[in-house]
Structure 1
Amino acid sequence: MADHAGDEDRSSDGLVSGEAAAADVDQEDRDTDKEEDAVPEKLADDDELKEKWYRRAFFTVFPKLRRVEERRQVYSNDRARNKAFKYANNIVITSKYNIITFVPLNLFEQFLRVANTYFLILLIIQLIPGVSSVPFYSTLVPLIGVLAVTAVKDAYDDVKRHYSDWRINNRAAYRVLSNGAHEKMKQHLRWKNVQVGDVLRLQNNDFITADMMVLSSSEPNSLVYIETAELDGETNLKVRQPIPETSHLQSDEEKLTAFDGLIECEPPNNRLHKFVGTLHWNDKDYALDNDKIILRGCRLRNTKWMYGVVVYAGHDTKLVQNSGSTKFKRTHLDRTMNTLVFFILATLGTLLTICWIGSIVFESVYGVDFTVYVPYYNSLQDTPAEVSFLQILSNTVVLNTLVPISLYVSVEIIRLGLSLLINWDEKMYYEVNGIPAQARTTTLNEELGQIEYIFSDKTGTLTQNIMSFLKCTIHGVKHGETTMEEPPMEQEVTTGKISRGPSPAPDTEAAMLGPEEKKEFIKELFKWNPHADLTDFNFVDDKFVEMCRNRDPDVEDFFRVLSLCHTVLPQEENGVLVYNAQSPDEAALVSAARNFGYVFVARSPFAITLKRLCKGSTDEWIDEEFEVLNILDFNNERKRMSVIVKHEDKITLYCKGADSIVFARLDETSKDAMQTTLKHLSHYAREGLRTLVVAQKHLTREEYSQWATQHHAASIVQVNRDEELDKVYNEIEQNMTLVGATAIEDKLQDGVPEAIANLAKANIKIWVLTGDKQETAINIGYSSKLLVEDMRVFIINAEDKGAVKKQLTDAKDEIVNCEEGKAVEEQWTDTELRLGPPGPPFGIVINGSSLRHALKMEDILLETASRCQAVICCRVTPLQKKKVVDLVKKRKKAVTLAIGDGANDVGMIKGKLLLKWCGNYRTLLASALSQHSKSE
């Protein structure tokens, strides 16, 4: 059964959990309504299904013969031309067997196990006349029982997959027919009959049928709102928008049936957040990116209707491309059982060999003396060797009980029971959302007790991921409640060590207020702003609030960046303005700007509207509209985001991002302010606050016009489009003026320090992999008890490879010397002293730039880090997270546990030996890829 677990995990944790689990009652009701008007169809065409099964089996055996698609061309509303490319249809099959293949394929898989094969051979031996001293059914019945139990379990799991496939493939869809293809101009059909190039209509709350290019929608500017929880774990709404040239099609089905655009794009792949393509239509070329595409697995929200062209269908969709690559994970117990079975077989072989040799000797020397007792001795013509061979077969039957026939079944039943106990454990039940712990596989439970290394994300895993705007610095001046004194933490970079001073203490009257008193104080402080949302808001600097009310120019620059440079979507719910953000950081910053009087109220593809307090007034609010010219997107490589807007004939670039990235792009006039801001950021980081730097740049018309031409050219290239756009982005994001920096609080989750302390007692080594800056990571390390006061902590933060190697070597030498000195000391101490507490533990902190070099020096990195009780990797990218976990798993041969709560943790989670999700309802993707999930 263990051999099947990987396949079961792939289906249930990938597509099935992604789509079928999300097919709730209201969707089924909508499907039922549509099915009443749908054209009656068979479940699936027999020839089509047979062809699909044959192709699937053939390419499984000969994968190199599969056609490699280098570039995809999709002709809209033209099934005949698209058929020549033999694109995948929209039928998705996650099941392993069908009626014909179940018995042979399942038996083949089961007989891949050594024990089952052994008993099959034993059964054949027992069928030989005159060999077995026991009837053949003494082996046949138990073997059939073992095979039947496994087969029933596999069949039950596969029936569920078949039902899930049937339900998904038979959902209702609405297709717009092309002119001349049919007299009617619309058609109801099933998902399984949708093909590449079809123009489909979707309604609010529908699941997306396939990966589609958006043409138009019911919303202003043809915006499309989607929920991507099944893809990236985020429940906040995201916006997609078509190119302006197709948005005018609206719901005019005559125009939609006449749409004949040619889409050229990349071949099917599993990159959820990247799409590169070009639309050729009406003798013009239009760039297509991820904002123009909606993916299968998403759900249409707050949009009455939309139309789109199918680009990828079925197994070519990005959802399915992501669901089938998880490798089977074999546990230590599986390997131990196989080793024991081989050892038992070797022992059996040794015994049989001894018996065989003894039989030959006996038959050669004494065998003839016993023929007188055999009535038919005159008919015996066998030689001693032949008699001995028959004796071996007989001995094999007699000694068959050495190999336990029920071993695998017993283990699987125990694992199933343990999984149920995990699912039923009330102590792992999160009452707030009603989410229990989930053992997503039955094959890895016993590994929980064998863990040696834990790899954990910080934000949302160690911390609550509930962001609160706490402080800021604007043009070198700090604002916000000073809740902490400057902690005397000194960093000696040359020796690579840090020393931790005493804990900071509150120093203001506001900091001494109790929770309820503080809430009342904040409510009174912001009562002038009827648009304020004070949920999780803890800013109490009354002087700064007064500066905002008086529209101080420096403060205006600062909050203009926060209120314009983002991808947040505003939405009214019961008359209340609500923000849907892709990250809690963005939501916190935009909400902060709102509370200080810079209210973001609306956005379109081309404009952002802010509501502002009229200058000189205490209660009159006015709307200001900013034309959005370009959005320079954030990604993990750029580590910044910019927006170019036009307001009152002035063109301005606003930017926010990581301090090291933005500081490197400032002009000469910002040098003094940068030095002061650096000190403030260092202070904020040592308080455990998350920081971002904001800047701006004023552009002339000529400067922007020249850059816009370069940007358009880069946006339509077919090869390396992202690299070309990054070059263009980087060109304009230079010589910016520093505006300030933000400091956001993200509190620890309840019970984290206690949990880490208990894990340390079990000698489990903990590695925290975070994108935060060094000081923030260190402070969180101390507050979570990952780093303790008596721990020797080494800092690895050099920029070049040689310096990184020296810092790692120095740290390793000091650890080794300390360990050797301790060993010598223990030789001269008595037993009672040796049983005392161990020497001080070690910790290491390494930043992303140093880690890039350290990963090329695997030996010294592992030798140093593996001797430390705690390791913190800061400023790391998702790819670096994956490389670190892979390195330890591959080189240390240890059982590893990866903990994450979001899409940026998928890399380090996916494919690891043992996974655990410790997040909340926002992070379903990480949960779907894990083997054990536990709510907060």
Structure 2
Amino acid sequence: MPIERTLSDLRSRLGGYEKIEEATSRTSIADLEDARLIFINQPQLTKFCTNHVSTAKYNVLTFLPRFLYAQFRRAANSFFLFIALLQQIPDVSPTGRWTTLVPLILILIVVLSLDLFSYPSLSLLLDHFCEHHSRCILDCFDGHFLFTSEPHAMCYIETSNLDGETNLKIRQGLQVTAHDKDADSLSRLSGCMECESPNRHLYDFVGVIRLEGHSPIPLGPEQILLRGARLRNTQWVNGMVVYTGHDTKLMQNSTRPPLKLSSVEHITNTLILALFGCLLAISLVCSAGQTLWKTQYGDFAWYMDLNYGGAANFGLNFLTFIILFNNLIPISLLVTLEVIKFIQAYFINWDVDMHYEPTDTSAMARTSNLNEELGQVKYIFSDKTGTLTCNVMQFKKCTVAGVAYGPEEEGFGDPTLPENLHNDHPTATIIQDFLTMMAVCHTAVPEKTEDTIVYQASSPDEGALVRAASSLGFVFSGRTPDSVIIHAVSGTNLLCDNSIPRGTTCTKKSMYCKLLCIKGTRAALSHHCGMLGEALHRENDVALVMDGETLKYALSFEVRQYFLDLALSCKAVICCRVSPLQKSEVVDLVKRQVKVITLAVGDGANDVGMIQTAHVGVGISGNEGLQAANSSDYSIAQFKYLRNLLLVHGAWNYNRVSKCILYCFYKNIVLYIIEIWFAIVNGFSGQILFERWCIGLYNVIFTAMPPLALGIFERCCKKENMLKYPELYKTSQNALGFNTKVFWAHCLNGLLHSVILFWLPLLIFQHDTVSWNGKTPDYLLLGNMVYTFVVITVCLKAGLETSSWTLFSHIAIWGSVFLWVLFFWLYSTLWPVIAIAPDMSGQAEMLFTSGVFWMSLLFIPVTSLLFDVAFREQLLFTQPFHSIIEFTSLSLRVKRSFWKNLVDEVQELEAKAQDPGEENGVVSQSDVIRSYDTTKQRPAQPQW
């Protein structure tokens, strides 16, 4: 019979399984030509997908392209690759052919090493192989089961990895095959199965099985076991494979992990492009200036032979100036950020406040690229089961015949209940009935292991009740088909269903972020999460609750904008019974349309999609395995640790990275803009003011430590204050520390400093100041003097940017100045002992013995920083943390004053006590020893 006719008959029989959908969201149920035909115990006519699944970031083929693509997405790397290519053109580069390419290769090697060896989730090969074919009876597939170890081909499954639900579900096979319990019966089966093609809908399945000697039997979702589900209370299951590998519904709902860049990096890339545009403009102006200078003075400067080697060529001059000024964009920025973020990741891993003692689990940063992104989160998407809740229920209290039992401490340890039961209390009979019902009225299944019994319940509530009854002497040890099954739960927080008390879970919500709960369990459980309170303080006191079927239509192209507008106008949005792909679609909708930083947190495999879709993904190492934790950017052991991760590490890292980036651009602008001022006085010849090795080591040695100190140890406030005043998070959340306005302000500040640091020394030397040995200064002595002032100024600027001084801060700032002085002194004494830099010979002696230099040293750097000191951020642009720092400092001074006065009073009283002449004086120690007589008998103790 043709497949089309078979499925048509099937729809007429199974109208309940048919889905009416729009053409844009139609699944393979309606794609008749894609229906799957599987033969039982026969060779397959169609080659199906194997069960090979790879979860690696890289493999052998894609390793190099994906790595290079990830790195050259950064504008800085692309820029320096362009400069390295320009340097290969003959007679163009004034700084050599390899001065950019070699550092760039070293940077890529360092980043690659961190990717491959530092983070377990980024290893090169993490392939997982499970070989299954369409007639094998194994796991790791979607399959139709034929018979099980349980009666009537029943089995219990848990689908927490698929939809987040932890309650046990019952699946039942076909009655035709329910009594076949051996391999021979299985091998004798013959026929075929026709079903829908692979799709992502977890709760839909349409198919028909044709066994020889039997009429066609329809199949629905109750006869299918999905990959990712766990067997419970069922020893074994035999069946036939329907979908394998990437055809399974779990893999259909999975998404490829994206290459994530933080918003700070995106802004930095944009600003680097803008700075590159400025570089092109500057090079164009300098090339034009060189042409004009040659036109005006070329005839008088015949000895310079300006036409030699194409020096007059405007295009080559333009490329020369691009290479000369390329260091306006710091090449060390990328390495510095990699080191800083790497250490920041270890700070997260080492935080003892995020260490969970019961399981000995610490927080783990699985990537360091998003450390600063943690400080800008505005929307949190959270799974509920196992994430907002611990998915653990404990029997706390109960009331029997109007009498309340249960202390306030952890667990149930009230001895009054068993005493009233055994001491002929008036309520003893009612207590006995109550405990009996707790022990028998449930759907739990006991699992006996030696002398212990483990209860597998359809919900944590039932398990808590059965365990409580067992601890009170009413032990449930088994069940028969005649057992009466009702649902009865108890707990501290109550829901009502036909006036029967029920227990539920509760969490405290205290965040300065909007929370959207995406979960797989009942929406009623969120009433006690603070999201569906009686008073929703917002312009619209409304909460939106939506299930997966409704969400399918809400996410369609025609109405998704209306759904988003409605969701944003509500205080809380709860989506229940949704598939993993729907979770990621909701996150992606908010991420793309609202343009805010999103964070997704979950603990199960069904949360992997939204964790990877959000800007930042946080996995919780819970009871549902490590799938979410292994696929996340950051993993924690408890949801409560998210507070420390965001408010402390997120805000700190954002502040550190922002200051580091701004400072790196500032210090490079200060030094290399001076080359532009020098070009004005040298006829735009391309001559450099500073010695070549001094230019090369500026970012590598002399100014390398201050940005590291800012990026690693900088703290705007202490951890206690960050947690005590969550308002401090708004500074990083609203990107007040790093944006286009702040960036260009730092660039203008560096421009101003470069003007002062170049033109003032030039004015001082314009009259040819003579040194002690009779020599007059040349351009190189001027360059060394300016270079010294630049190093001192930018190091002091780092001190002004520092809010929290540490030992490393002092070493970074003062040590950098000392390194330059030491290098300068040694470098100027090498020649002629070592044939290096003969033009630097004696420069240090001439500079350090010049009175003009020492006078300028006290005047010029201070003049440069006067503007920064006079117009500090605390005075003009006060942030919340400035007030907190001031308040904390004031409180500390008050406390110190109090303790100082108290210590003075105590010392005064001690002095009086040691003086026998004082009225309240005591006998000195020497007098006590002299009057002590061990030969005298002690008086007896008086009788009272």
Compute the TM-score of the two structures, normalised by the length of structure 1: 0.53
Correspondent of 1:71 among 35, 54, 74: 35
For residues 271-303 of structure 1, give each alpha carbon's deviation from its aligned partner in whole angstroms, at most 9, with x where no partner exists.
455544332222423333444333445566776
Residue of structure 2 in register with 1:125 after alignment:
86
**Partners of 1:917 and 1:934 within 8 A in 2:** yes
Residue of structure 1 in register with 2:497 after alignment:
693
Residue of structure 2 in register with 1:848 after alignment:
545
Residue of structure 2 in register with 1:563 after alignment:
441
Is residue 414 of structure 1 aligned with residue 340 of structure 2?
yes
Is residue 921 of structure 1 aligned with residue 623 of structure 2?
yes
**Partners of 2:144 and 2:224 within 8 A in 1:** yes
For residues 604-635 of structure 1, give each alpha carbon's deviation from its aligned partner in whole angstroms, at most 9, with x where no partner exists.
xxxx63xxxxxxxxxxxxxx357xxxxxxxxx
Is residue 583 of structure 1 aligned with residue 444 of structure 2?
no
- Which segment drifts farther, 128-137 or 74-83? 74-83
1:795 and 1:266 map into 2 onto residues whose CA distance is 45
**Partners of 2:35 and 2:196 within 8 A in 1:** yes
For residues 724-756 of structure 1, give each alpha carbon's deviation from its aligned partner in whole angstroms, at most 9, with x where no partner exists.
xxxxxxxxxxxxxxxx433215365xxx58xx3
**Partners of 2:394 and 2:411 within 8 A in 1:** no
How far did residue 511 of structure 1 move?
6.6
Is residue 257 of structure 1 aligned with residue 187 of structure 2?
yes
Is residue 431 of structure 1 aligned with residue 354 of structure 2?
no
Q: Which has the higher helix share?
A: 2
How far did residue 401 of structure 1 move?
1.4
Residue of structure 2 in register with 1:359 after alignment:
290
Residue of structure 2 in register with 1:9 after alignment:
none
How far did residue 345 of structure 1 move?
0.9
How far did residue 263 of structure 1 move?
2.1
Residue of structure 2 in register with 1:313 after alignment:
244
Is residue 394 of structure 1 aligned with residue 346 of structure 2?
no
Residue of structure 2 in register with 1:835 after alignment:
none
1:218 and 1:458 map into 2 onto residues whose CA distance is 33
Residue of structure 2 in register with 1:520 after alignment:
415
Mapping for residues 254-333 of structure 1, pairs under 5 Å = 255-272=185-202, 274-282=204-212, 283-297=214-228, 305-333=236-264
SS at match of 1:117: helix
For residues 872-897 of structure 1, give each alpha carbon's deviation from its aligned partner in whole angstroms, at most 9, with x where no partner exists.
55796658987886676555533334
2:494 and 2:621 map into 1 onto residues whose CA distance is 20
The structure that has the greater radius of gyration is 2
**Partners of 1:75 and 1:261 within 8 A in 2:** yes
Mapping for residues 518-917 of structure 1, pairs under 5 Å = 519-524=414-419, 544-545=430-431, 563=441, 568-588=444-464, 609=481, 624-625=482-483, 689-693=493-497, 740-746=499-505, 748=507, 756=510, 759=511, 763-764=512-513, 781=530, 794-795=535-536, 811=539, 844=541, 846=543, 848=545, 871-873=571-573, 878=578, 889-890=591-592, 892-901=594-603, 909=611, 911-917=613-619
How far did residue 462 of structure 1 move?
5.0
Is residue 345 of structure 1 aligned with residue 47 of structure 2?
no
Residue of structure 1 in register with 2:919 after alignment:
none
2:523 and 2:174 map into 1 onto residues whose CA distance is 42
One-letter amino acid of the counterpart of residue 350, structure 1:
A
For residues 344-382 of structure 1, give each alpha carbon's deviation from its aligned partner in whole angstroms, at most 9, with x where no partner exists.
21221221121233234334444455455429x6x88x7
SS at match of 1:263: strand
Structure-2 change in CA distance of 1:406 and 1:464 (3 Å): same
Residue of structure 1 in register with 2:144 after alignment:
213
1:509 and 1:237 map into 2 onto residues whose CA distance is 31
Residue of structure 1 in register with 2:136 after alignment:
199
**Partners of 1:656 and 1:693 within 8 A in 2:** no
**Partners of 2:311 and 2:317 within 8 A in 1:** no
2:493 and 2:32 map into 1 onto residues whose CA distance is 49
How far did residue 390 of structure 1 move?
0.6
2:121 and 2:592 map into 1 onto residues whose CA distance is 36
SS at match of 1:122: helix
**Partners of 1:225 and 1:303 within 8 A in 2:** yes
One-letter amino acid of the counterpart of residue 563, structure 1:
C
1:345 and 1:413 map into 2 onto residues whose CA distance is 25
For residues 580-618 of structure 1, give each alpha carbon's deviation from its aligned partner in whole angstroms, at most 9, with x where no partner exists.
134323435666899999987657xxxx63xxxxxxxxx
**Partners of 1:352 and 1:395 within 8 A in 2:** yes
For residues 539-578 of structure 1, give each alpha carbon's deviation from its aligned partner in whole angstroms, at most 9, with x where no partner exists.
x9867436659x9xxxx8xx89x936x5x44322334443
One-letter amino acid of the counterpart of residue 108, structure 2:
L
1:861 and 1:318 map into 2 onto residues whose CA distance is 30
Residue of structure 1 in register with 2:780 after alignment:
none
2:606 and 2:461 map into 1 onto residues whose CA distance is 15
One-letter amino acid of the counterpart of residue 448, structure 1:
L
Structure-2 change in CA distance of 1:930 and 1:601 (3 Å): same
1:406 and 1:625 map into 2 onto residues whose CA distance is 73
Identity %: 33
**Partners of 2:163 and 2:578 within 8 A in 1:** no
Structure-2 change in CA distance of 1:589 and 1:383 (3 Å): same
Residue of structure 2 in register with 1:164 after alignment:
126
**Partners of 2:421 and 2:429 within 8 A in 1:** no
2:524 and 2:238 map into 1 onto residues whose CA distance is 49
Is residue 934 of structure 1 aligned with residue 611 of structure 2?
no
**Partners of 2:421 and 2:428 within 8 A in 1:** no
How many residue pairs get aligned? The number is 595
**Partners of 1:470 and 1:480 within 8 A in 2:** no
**Partners of 2:605 and 2:628 within 8 A in 1:** yes
For residues 833-857 of structure 1, give each alpha carbon's deviation from its aligned partner in whole angstroms, at most 9, with x where no partner exists.
xxxxxxxxxxx55253899999976
**Partners of 2:147 and 2:178 within 8 A in 1:** yes
**Partners of 1:468 and 1:744 within 8 A in 2:** no
Structure-2 change in CA distance of 1:287 and 1:328 (3 Å): farther
1:118 and 1:318 map into 2 onto residues whose CA distance is 44
One-letter amino acid of the counterpart of residue 911, structure 1:
T
How far did residue 907 of structure 1 move?
7.5
Q: Which has the higher strand share?
A: 1
How far did residue 391 of structure 1 move?
0.3
Q: Which runs of 5+ in 1 are unaligned?
A: 1-66, 170-190, 203-207, 473-478, 483-507, 529-539, 610-623, 627-642, 644-653, 658-683, 695-739, 788-792, 797-807, 813-843, 866-870
Residue of structure 2 in register with 1:467 after alignment:
393
How far did residue 136 of structure 1 move?
0.7
How far did residue 510 of structure 1 move?
4.4
For residues 700-725 of structure 1, give each alpha carbon's deviation from its aligned partner in whole angstroms, at most 9, with x where no partner exists.
xxxxxxxxxxxxxxxxxxxxxxxxxx
Correspondent of 2:104 among 143, 157, 166: 143
1:846 and 1:101 map into 2 onto residues whose CA distance is 45
RMSD of aligned Cα (Å)? 5.0
**Partners of 1:264 and 1:277 within 8 A in 2:** yes
